[in-house]
Amino acid sequence: TSPEQRVEAMRETGYGAELASPDQTAFEEQEAQDRAQEEEFRELRLKALLSLVFAAVGMLISMPVMSAPFAGEHAGHGAPAGDPFMNWVHGVIDPWLMGVLPWLYRIDVRLLSYTLLAMTLVAMAWAGRHFYTRAWAAFRHHAADMNTLVATGTGAAFLFSVAATFFPGFFLSRGVAPAVYYEAVLFIVALILLGNMFEARAKRQTSTALRKLVDLQPKTARVLRGGTEVEVPVEEVVHDDLVLVRPGERIPVDGEIVSGASAVDESMLTGESLPVEKAAGDPVIGGTINRTGAFRYRATNLGADSLLAQIVRLMRDAQGSRAPIQKLVDRVTGVFVPVSISIAIATFAVWFVAGPEPALIPAFAAAVAVLIIACPCAMGLAVPTAVMVATGKGAEAGILIKGGEALQRARDVTTVVLDKTGTVTEGRPAVTDVLRAPGAELPEERVLALVASLEAASEHPLAEAIVRYAEGRGLARLEVEGFEAVTGRGAVGVVDGSALAIGNERLMADYAVEIEPLRGAADERAGRGRTPLAGVIAVADPIKQTSRAAIRRLHRMGLEVVMLTGDNRRTAEAVAREAGIDRVVAEVLPEGKVEEVRRLQAAGEVVAMVGDGINDAPALAQADVGIALGTGTDIAAEAGDVVLMRGDLQGVPSAIQLSRRTL
């Protein structure tokens, strides 16, 4: 079948449908959807408010009609003698209303009935038209939904009232009051429209987060073309263009800094309030705000591939998805509607056969009441509205939830499995201690300057950590000669005239360096997850500041926390102790991570896996809920059901809490 035929089939079932334009970007699609939602909200608001006005006026007009005697040309239905409540209502309200609006009671009742008829026709044909067209579409497809109940109830009340208005004698000759229920029809239509308006308002407010995201992208970019600085529409920026950004400007597209440095405010995407320091080689995201310095960067991901466009598309897909609980609602509604109609018919029959004379009126009123009160609007609106609001709230907090299914599953999580490197820890080494040997003459700054100068020639991550630490303390580089990397051991060379050997215990043994005076300090720090290097410089992958607090929150929520890592057991256990994690599974490869998740699932646990690397992607996909850190790899983000833009663990308990509250 063709896409056009599918659209036509959807339209025949009573839904609006149209093909998406292949030329539209995610931003243009979102803008079109925003316009449609805004238009829907405005239309429903107008219809609901006017219907409420009609209903209030209709109730006012109905008072003299209801209190009119059963005689001659009058079409009133009066208060049955056996209905004390209605007698009391008329006894209280009629005298007051006659005093306030005496002219209303002097108008001919027939004219009032025709006025009510005209108002009700307008409300049904204009404001509530979609109830009837959708109910008819459902009937044609041998289905019944909430619109069926609304259409049946209000339709029955309206047709009965029309008959009573035009043929009152037929009713009077049979001893039945020619009752009109126009005000009931008006209020039913008005109140259900009011519910629809609130649903549209929720959708509209939820889209605010998306609109803010769309509005983040600037319309133009300043690029270097042929050595000249020119301003072009952002759509005309091409891959590898050099883009210039000044302080206070929004970054137009994704890229990588080539020269310059700055602090960039990424709060709209990550929820992180503090600006992030950026320098040459660091990535920047389109739509974020450059705060302090100017820089040039090379454009990388453009258009639909940009992070902003991907987030917009992800959010739109999530808000349009269905939670599994919606299937239950659909099944209940499929049974509920025909059962409600059957109960209404049975109610009419019982009242008509066994009720007080004249039996027709109370039988009809009871049957219509069943239809109207049974209308399960809340059941149908609750799930999609809740999913939209929850995913919108999540986006504001930097938690991207990929649809209703992930949102629902997160509620049932019993065990949270955490990767170590880059998830619990920062993911890059940092110097924690610098110790001199007992009785050494060199001051600490001199030791660090010598080591950092030699390590500056190395590409090893631990060497980079030492160099960063020395630069942070403002230590100058010393002259280096004869640098040599010793694989698996360290590095040697001559720094400022001194021969230097920097490395692990095996390198020290190679050079007959006595390490016993420092062994205790080295072992003590190794036991705390820190790797001892030269004289001793202790280097560790430090725990993120937010990890301990996040793990405490998970424990308070009654969840077990497991750390799953490929790192060695001693280091992993040290990190787990420091972070407050319950259990450690260490020295496992990616397939081992998947097996561990499966083992937990086989034991009856509902598992949320949290990770950031390519090696975590299979386990993220296997878990009941995969939670990827947005600061990690694209592959991990694709495999996850939830993406945490902030890149810290605080988003994990927040996501689970959001799911619990939503459900």
Active site residues: 419
Give me the DSSP letters along 344-407: HHHHHHHHHHHSPSS-HHHHHHHHHHHHHHH--HHHHHHHHHHHHHHHHHHHHTTEEE-SHHHH
Q: Which helix (H) or strand (E) holds 158?
A: helix 146-166
Contact 425, 541 (CB under 8 A): yes
Cβ contact 469:430 at 8 Å: yes
Q: Which of 316, 304, 310 is nearest to 206 (CA)?
A: 316
Q: Rounded CA gap, 393 and 295, in Å? A: 33
Cβ neighbors of 428 (< 8 A, separation 6 or more) are 461, 464, 465, 541
Sheet arrangement for strand 490-495: 480-486, 490-495, 498-503
Three-state DSSP class for residue 485:
strand
Choose among 595, 590, 588: nearest CA to 635.
Answer: 590
Q: In the beta sheet, which residues pair with residue 287?
A: none
CA atoms within 13 A on the CB side of 61: 27
Inter-CA distances, 211 with 35, 312, 320, Å = 11, 9, 16
Cβ 274 vs Cβ 290: under 8 Å: no
645 within 8 A of 637, measured Cβ to Cβ: no
Instruction: Provide the residue type at 446 as one letter.
Output: R
Question: How far are the Cα atoms of 74, 274, 313, 389, 611 from residue 167, in angstroms, in the given order?
Answer: 10, 75, 59, 50, 74
Report the C-alpha gap between 507 and 516 in whole angstroms.
14
Q: In sequence order, which residues have a C-beta less than 8 Å from that of residue 580 and are 6 or more positions away?
A: 548, 551, 552, 555, 561
Using CA atoms, how far apart are residues 312 and 310, in angstroms rounded to an integer?
5
Contact at 8 Å (CB) between 403 and 317?
A: yes
Q: Which residues contact 9 (CB under 8 A, 6 or more apart)?
A: none
What would the two tokens of residue 603 be?
């034991």
